[in-house]
Amino acid sequence: MTRDEQEYDDLPQDLIDQLKSADQPVSMITSRVDREISQLAEAHFSRRRQTVWSRHPAWAAVAATALLALLLVQLRGPQVDEHVPIYADLDNSGRIDIADVLYLARTRGAEQQQRAEIDAFAMRVVSLAPTGETS
Amino acid sequence: MRALIVSLILMGSCCLGQAFAEDDSVRFSAMDIYLTSAEPVAAWQFELNDHHGLMKVVGVEKGESAAYARVPYYDREAVRLGEADRIVVADYSLADVARLPSDRTRIATVHLMLSGDDDADFNLFLITATTYDGLATDASISFEVQTGSEQ
Amino acid sequence: MTRRELRVMFRVMSAVFVCAVIAVGCAGKEQAMPPDSGTPSGSQSDASGMEGIMTTGSRIESARARPQNRQLSAYADLALKRSGAGPALAPLSADEELWVIATPSVDDQKSRDDDSPGSGAMVASFPDDIDEKTGAAREIPLPLKHTAVNARIDGYISTVNVRQEFSNPFDQKIEAVYLFPLPEKAAVSEFLMIIGDRKIRGILREKEEAEAIYREARSQGYQASLLVQHRPNVFEQKVANIEPGKSIDVDIQYFHTLAYNDGWYSFVFPTVVGPRYNPPGHSDPIVPVARGSAQANEKHTTVPYLRPGERSGHDISIDVEIDAGVAIEELRSTHEIVASRATPESATVRLASQSTIPNRDFVLNFQVAGNTVKSNLMTYRDPELGQGYFTLMLYPPSDNASLARRPMEMVFVLDCSGSMSGRPLEQAKNAVRAALGQLREGDTFQIIRFSEDSTQLGATPLPATRQNLQLARQYLRSLRGTGGTQMIEGVKAALDFPHDPARLRFVSFMTDGYIGNEIDIIGAVHDRIRDSRIFSFGVGSSVNRYLLERMAKEGRGAVAYLGPQDSATNIMNGFFKRISHPALTDVSIDWGNMAVADVYPAKLPDMFVGRAVVITGKYLGATGNITVSGMAGSKTQRLNIPATQNDNSKTSISKIWARLRIADLTDRQAWEDDTHGELANAIKNTALEYQLVSDYTSFVAVDASRRTDGEFGVTVPQAVPVPDGVRYETTVEQH
């Protein structure tokens, strides 16, 4: 038994015949052809890696900054603007009630001027006007 | 003639009696509102209403806890209008947690004038009670009515 | 119907009638409660002395008793005992009637002038406070013990808390009644009744309803309090069912703006209502009465005054915190004060004596650095409704003091009524003399005096020649203070004669304003003012600022105040210098982006150097730059006021605006026909919406948690001292 025959001796005969017929001498690939193929492949793969953001780095920086800012704001929670009227669900309870007034009072402190605004907020909270938020 | 005079006087006295009877239908009550909470409460809000619409608020009194120093907030406009068959009352405290009330505490007293012969039908419910950390706590609310007849 | 049946019916009806009379008599006890003293009114019985109802507290009592009716017999016995008529009579037969009549004796009247609160059933207990060596004032026990005033000033807006401490020095329940003043532009918006450590917030209601609630609570024995306005600067506090030895406090809070003149802001807290003169027929008088007088009753408002040598024990403490926003240079007061300064822009001031007798207005003036004061706008926006409110304080340019002076026609109107007798009239005369010294060739003048009537120096205004000025000084020397205050006569005399178009007519009223018909005077000024200007001078320690400010407002002028210790010459010279040089006339305002409405004062006044004008209104939209234009002499001048940032903490601005609106509507009631009540309804609705006390709204608080023992007690009006410098004999005693 030849070595080949020894390699194939477990296989069916028709398969052995097909493998033999396929076993042809390999063509020689020149280095030039090899180089050209490599360049083509390289060009293909480098195009895929260049995203929209990498093509426009400035916009990418803007978007990243905005995303970071948004994340930071969400993490810090609602902030009170001293000059904007207050009547909001500050503690995110789903309702505007005295707990929001407590939240505001803790945030603003007990200064006389802030106290007046907190009082006004509390009066809105207990109002029976038909806003529906109090009950 | 004497009977006629007496009859006229009698009719007049009946009218006086009628006026006297009208005063009897006005009465005053003080409604003590109690909050029961296992945890110290830093803010609370409740609604009180009277289904028969008989109540007129004649005073709102602060509760017994020293942590709540002022008279609670309520809608004065609505009370003034006399449409307060309902009233919302609320208050908060910035005191330290050690000073905040817990267990059963009188948080407010609503002084009422009731008129008419029917009894009022009060309904009281707790809108929110909040702990020192700003979290809603499981508390219950109740009331006791004083008519002032006991000294 | 047979005779027997008629007889039975008659007896039944008689029994029912008697029962009804008894029932009404029991209820009628409270309505028939006497005036605060026991001085018999003399009105409850005539020569026949027949009465069916007994009243307690009066020394004239009568009862008609049928022996078979035990209750009425008991009344008869009681009446006998009270009247000291001796032992009860022998039992009566069925056919006899018993009439018991007691008439007041001289001794009874004398004893009623004692310190009892006015009920024959009450025994007063009071401390014996007479020092025979020093002759110190005798202290009369009265309910009001102390008034504590705490004020905070931010810029030119003040928030003031007033605590009145009532206690019962007697051994039975009482109702305390106290008439007191507040600044005439005060927006009273908070009311607390404090019993021990319990605080009960009162409710604002329509006046009649609040009074009905109070009466009902009082009659049922509940502790209650009621705050009522009688004038924009006169209020009445009632506290019912104060138990013996116990106390009830009442807290009031109000806001108002400060006046600014010549670099000085002025905070005023009035302490006593001066004794008013009420022209005959006036429908709503405020009547001064002697303490314990029987004139006090529920038909009209009375102010009881302590007699000379008496004091009530009521004292006052005042604490003021100032945050001026600019450096404060100096502090001055009508009283001795203690001041501390944490920063240049702030100060804490208190009365040196925290137990001061409240018989003169407390005035605190603080001076700010002149070059730091600029016209400024303060705004507040309701966070829910978006409605904005603003106050604009306008300071005229100081360089306009050099403007040319036009010829003047000065009309001096002096109040020569009894309340001005003594120091006040002397001050007024000094002020007029100082003004006469400022007149120049080409000016004319007139001097008018009024009390019960009015007379004047000349038939027409006199040229300011040396001879005429000498005549004027002689005329001034002859003037005396006596009689009532028919101020309407002075107004007519001052404004009814033709105006000289070549001259600026200034009418200067010198008065303490102690009248009860302010609304008539304001109406008369409005109807007659035409091209004249009115400058009011309040002369005295506790003048009627409401009247003086309103007259000046209608007269497009200004007010100055001359206290007993002030230099009339200095004040008049400074005042005269200003009014003779208007800094800006024909004033108009371009509000820029602000859509303003309901601006008060509706008529912009002329502006005088050193005198600021405060304008308040509503607005929508964003704030922006504002331009004020006017004539400075013959030239047009403009002031630019920069936009301001909204301050949501200034909630008081909305209430101050509402108070000015109410004042404007009230003034209009003086000259407009309000038959259909439109103005009255507008006042009431504004007051209710903004939770303010007004002529038509009152605060009431009831402690419904417990009833006090016994009947509701006797009404004890708080007697007050006559204002410092005013004579009791020519004011209270004359009424």
What pLDDT score does A113 carry?
57
What domains lie within chain C, and their CATH numbers? 22-112 (no CATH), 139-369+693-717 (2.60.40), 375-400+584-689 (2.60.40), 406-580 (3.40.50.410)
Nearest CB neighbour to A113, from listed C382, C646, C649: C649
CA nearest C455: which of C489, C410, C495? C489
CA dihedral A33, A39, A40, A42 (to 10 degrees): 140
Q: Which residues of A touch B (CB under 8 A)?
A: 91, 93, 95, 97-99, 101-103, 105-106, 110, 119, 122-123, 125-129, 134-135
What mean pLDDT, rounded, does chain C reach? 80
Compare all CA atoms of chain A with the CA of C648 and give the residue at the minimum distance: A117
DSSP H helices, B52-123, are: 76-81
Token pair 């005198």 is found at: C611
Domains held by chain B: number = 1
3-class DSSP state of C494: helix
- CA separation for the pair C487, C700 (Å, rounded): 35
DSSP calls for C221-261: TEEEEEEEEEETTEEEEEEEEEPTT-EEEEEEEEEEEPEEE
User: Which tens digit of pLDDT belongs to each residue from B4-23?
Assistant: 555 555 455 444 443 333 35
pLDDT at C543 > cutoff 80: yes
CA nearest C702: which of A32, A10, B110, A40? B110
Residue type, position C6, single letter: L
Q: Are strands C337-340 and C198-201 parallel, antiparallel or unpaired?
A: unpaired
Q: Are C396 and C584 in contact (CB under 8 A)?
A: yes
Alpha carbon C102 to its chain centroid, in Å, reads 39
Confidence of residue B3 (pLDDT cuts 50, 70, 90): low
User: Which tens digit of pLDDT belongs to each residue from C276-291?
Assistant: 888 888 888 888 888 8
User: Which tens digit of pLDDT belongs to each residue from C362-407?
Assistant: 999 999 876 656 788 888 887 667 789 999 888 877 666 666 777 8
Q: Is residue B140 part of a domain?
A: yes
Q: What's the 3-state SS for chain A?
A: CCHHHHHHCCCCHHHHHHHHHHCCCCCCCCHHHHHHHHHHHHHHHHHHHCCHHHHCHHHHHHHHHHHHHHHHHHHHCCCCCCCCCCCCCCCCCCCCCHHHHHHHHHHHCCCHHHHHHHHHHHHHHCCCCCCCCCC
- CA separation for the pair C541, C2 (Å, rounded): 79
Q: Is residue B128 part of a domain?
A: yes
The CATH number of the domain where B123 resides is what?
2.60.40.680
Q: What's the 3-state SS for C625-687?
A: CEEEEEEECCEEEEEEECCCCCCCCCCHHHHHHHHHHHHHHHHHHCCCCCCCCHHHHHHHHHH
What pLDDT score does C280 carry?
84
Mean pLDDT of C245-257: 94
Structure tokens at C329: 């240079």
Compare all CA atoms of chain A with the CA of C154 and give the residue at the minimum distance: A113
CA within 13 Å, CB half, C636: 6
User: Which tens digit of pLDDT belongs to each residue from C431-445?
Assistant: 999 999 999 989 999
0.90 exceeded by pTM: no
B138 to chain C, any CB pair closer than 8 A? The answer is no
**What would you measure as the largest C-alpha separation in chain A, in angstroms?**
108
Domain containing B90 equals 26-146
CA nearest C84: which of C66, C65, C111? C111
Compare all CA atoms of chain A with the CA of B89 and give the residue at the minimum distance: A126
Element (H, E) at C423: helix C423-436
Cβ atoms within 10 Å of A61's Cβ, excluding its own: 11
Beta partners for residue C281, in sequence order = none
Measured in angstroms, the CA of C700 and the nearest CA of chain B are apart by 7
Q: What residues of chain A score a pLDDT lower than 70?
A: 1-9, 24-29, 47-55, 72-86, 109-114, 129-135
Confidence of residue C416 (pLDDT cuts 50, 70, 90): very high
Mean pLDDT of C704-715: 85
User: Domain extents for chain A?
Assistant: 3-75, 80-125
| Share of residues in chain C with pLDDT > 70 (%) | 78
Q: Are B65 and B145 in contact (CB under 8 A)?
A: no
> In this predicted complex, what is the ipTM?
0.81
Q: Is residue B21 part of a domain?
A: no
Q: Are C653 and C636 in contact (CB under 8 A)?
A: no
Measured in angstroms, the CA of B129 and the nearest CA of chain A are apart by 8
What residues 176-215 of chain C have any CB closer than 8 A to a CB of chain A? none
> Chains contacting B with at least 3 CB pairs below 8 Å?
A, C
